[in-house]
Chains A and B, each alone.
Chain A
Amino acid sequence: MNNKTTYISSIILVIVLLILPFVLPEYPLHLFALCGIWIILVLSLCLLQGYIGELSMGHAAFFGIGAYSSVFMTMFGGFSFWAALPLSGIVAMIFGYLIGLVALRLRGPYFAIVTLGFAEIIRMVLVNWKDVSGGPDGIIGIPPPDSIWLPLIGQISFAGKIASYFLIYIFVAVTVYVVYRIVKSLMGYAVVSVREDLDYAECVGINTTRWKRFIFSISAFFAGLAGSLFAHYVHFISPYSFGVSESFDLVIMIIVGGTGTIIGPIIGAVLLTLLPELLHAIKDFRMLIYGAILVVIIMYAPGGIAGLLKSFSNRYFPNLTTKKGI
């Protein structure tokens, strides 16, 4: 897509997102807010998968760390939500850095099992450390974000859905922007260095470990933010919201949506959050259908939905695409 169509479609998307909360009933709006949290999560994993090239099977752990640390800080530490939100991202980031020290030395299946291992250990600590985490029952009655006063708008309370929706989508926008900037700059970096001089690229390669740790920490940071937003939005957390199946859901979202793009995983996240709600009749078959979709996508359309859309637009609207593609 050329710049003009990208701008026009982004503007349309933003307008739609701004109008949605005023036209949708409460429950669909709630689903869209949840979609936003999944978009932040899936983009943070997408950053990891796209730059490091490894699939994490334990990404939901950082989501959980963010959620629990935010709840500790606000409910037991007396922090305001607005301080706890960035701090819980930083706590997740510290965990990400430490886990990265071990995991980033490994590749492929080794990386996958070690990330899953760390996630399971963290989940088991949450289940067993009853005094602090509430154990398997979780923590109930988490307060909504503290109300704030903004010029022009006035006092905003986050007890309702509309304000929470906007809060979540502001962070979606921040995540999209940061991920986009990192992908752009790092890709430019790598491409230029390889093109200019291979030896130079290898020299740059020495720093790849540091870059990888940086990316892994940033990825954990955004997952932590998503956790904090989630906890104060649904008002209840338990270790079962941050398990292996959530980590797997994230991987499915990326693959079904399409790897190597930013729009792909977003499509995947929205689709997988809304699909079971739209098709109530098939609720029991939800996971069976997800699995089957995953098998079909990987066998016949490894580019995911974004890849399908791209080849579709290349074929039928060739004048929309430049030589570089989307």
Chain B
Amino acid sequence: MILQQLVNTVILGSNYALMAIGLTIVFGILGIVNLAHGEMFMVGAFVAFFIVAILKGNFFLALLGAMVAIAVLGVILERATFRKLRGGAEVNYFILSMGLLIVIQNAALLLFGTDPHSMSLPAAAQVIDLGVVMLTTQRLIIVATAVIIIFALHFFIKYTRMGMSMRGVEQDFEGAQTVGISINKVASFTFALSGALAGAAGALMGSLYIVQSTMGFSPLIKAFTVVVLGGLGSIMGAIVGGLILAAAEIFGGVYISSGYQEAFSFIILIIALSIKPSGLFGKK
């Protein structure tokens, strides 16, 4: 029983981490708290759903499609809105993204209605029985994909030229400009990466549960909690925070009370921030 919960924790935690990393890189590099991140997740889930249900594509095509589509959406949002506020107060980004959240969510409500959709993948029905632990092939695919994406991102940021530029901007905004790094390029690229991660998380979570126009808000709050818990801007913090949050929800939900499942994450967050106000892996 405990082992089964641990496996569930890793599955949920890897998805929280995927969402949270997308949110945290945009904050770390550009100083933007993007509240529309959950809506990008939702649109990603719909893209994946349409590819599977209407175009009859397989799941990996849907995943790729969602990542590309939301990366493009991220770049559009950056160029059309966030870029215009650069240099102003950070709270303006916050309010802007709140506006974008409301616009995207309500546009989706008008377009897709409130009906839940299911991708009904064949892999979701195949059960792998490992004796003590049971899980479906789809859950295995989800964990593997999330881990691969997180590692790929790590190597990208560490070793590629664009990754280095991003780290340069993160460390010193003006210094990076002085040495000839284009802030506009880095900003667009960061939003593209963040969007790809949100799209991937949307496709993965959408394949596990349901796809619905209101599905974006809860993961946003979860990712936000994870990011703040781990320390804003820290990728390592997002991974550890994601696992802690998933463990709190699953074990708290099973062993304490399922009615308060959502509250456990906030309780952990409040305790952690009371002890260390900059988050577990935060600077300062």
> Which A residues are closer than 8 A to B by beta carbons?
55, 102, 105-106, 108-110, 112-114, 116-118, 120-121, 124-125, 127-128, 244, 248, 251-252, 255, 284-285, 287-288, 290-295, 298-299, 302
When the two chains form their complex, are residues B103 and A292 in contact, meaning their CB atoms are under 8 A apart? yes
Q: What chain A residues lie within 8 Å of B274 (beta carbons)? A: 102, 105
Q: What chain A residues lie within 8 Å of B260 (beta carbons)? A: 124, 128
* Max chain A C-beta neighbours (<10 A), residue from B81, B84, B106, B262: B106
* Interface segment out of the listed B85-93, B116-124, B145-153, B198-206: B85-93
When the two chains form their complex, are residues B270 and A287 in contact, meaning their CB atoms are under 8 A apart? no
Q: How far is the CA of A230 from the CA of B81 in the complex (A)?
A: 38
Closest to B95 in A: A298
When the two chains form their complex, are residues B110 and A106 in contact, meaning their CB atoms are under 8 A apart? no
Choice from A108, A120, A127, A251 contacting B266 with Cβ under 8 Å: A120
Q: What chain A residues lie within 8 Å of B273 (beta carbons)? A: 102, 105-106, 110, 114
When the two chains form their complex, are residues B103 and A291 in contact, meaning their CB atoms are under 8 A apart? yes
* Max chain A C-beta neighbours (<10 A), residue from B81, B94, B99, B274: B99
Least CB distance, B88 to chain A, in whole angstroms: 7
Given A117-B269, A294-B98, A294-B102, CB of A284 within 8 Å of CB of B91 = no
When the two chains form their complex, are residues A290 and B266 in contact, meaning their CB atoms are under 8 A apart? no
When the two chains form their complex, are residues B259 and A128 in contact, meaning their CB atoms are under 8 A apart? yes
When the two chains form their complex, are residues A298 and B85 in contact, meaning their CB atoms are under 8 A apart? yes
Q: What chain B residues lie within 8 Å of A298 (beta carbons)? A: 85, 92, 95-96, 99
Q: How far is the CA of A290 from the CA of B110 in the complex (A)?
A: 15
- Supply 12 A–B pairs (Cβ within 8 Å), ascending by A: A55-B94, A108-B94, A110-B232, A113-B221, A121-B263, A248-B98, A252-B98, A288-B103, A288-B110, A291-B105, A295-B103, A298-B95
Given A117-B269, A248-B98, A299-B96, CB of A109 within 8 Å of CB of B106 = no
Q: What chain A residues lie within 8 Å of B263 (beta carbons)? A: 120-121, 124-125
Closest to A286 in B: B106
Given A102-B274, A121-B267, A291-B101, CB of A113 within 8 Å of CB of B224 = yes
Q: How far is the CA of A112 from the CA of B96 in the complex (A)?
A: 15
Closest to A244 in B: B217
Q: How far is the CA of A195 from the CA of B279 in the complex (A)?
A: 36
Choice from B88, B94, B107 contacting A288 with Cβ under 8 Å: B107
Least CB distance, A123 to chain B, in whole angstroms: 9
Q: How far is the CA of A285 from the CA of B81 in the complex (A)?
A: 21
Choice from B81, B217, B267 contacting A295 with Cβ under 8 Å: B81
When the two chains form their complex, are residues A299 and B85 in contact, meaning their CB atoms are under 8 A apart? yes
Closest to A119 in B: B266
Given A124-B259, A124-B260, A128-B259, CB of A299 within 8 Å of CB of B81 = yes
Least CB distance, A194 to chain B, in whole angstroms: 20
Q: What chain A residues lie within 8 Å of B279 (beta carbons)? A: 110
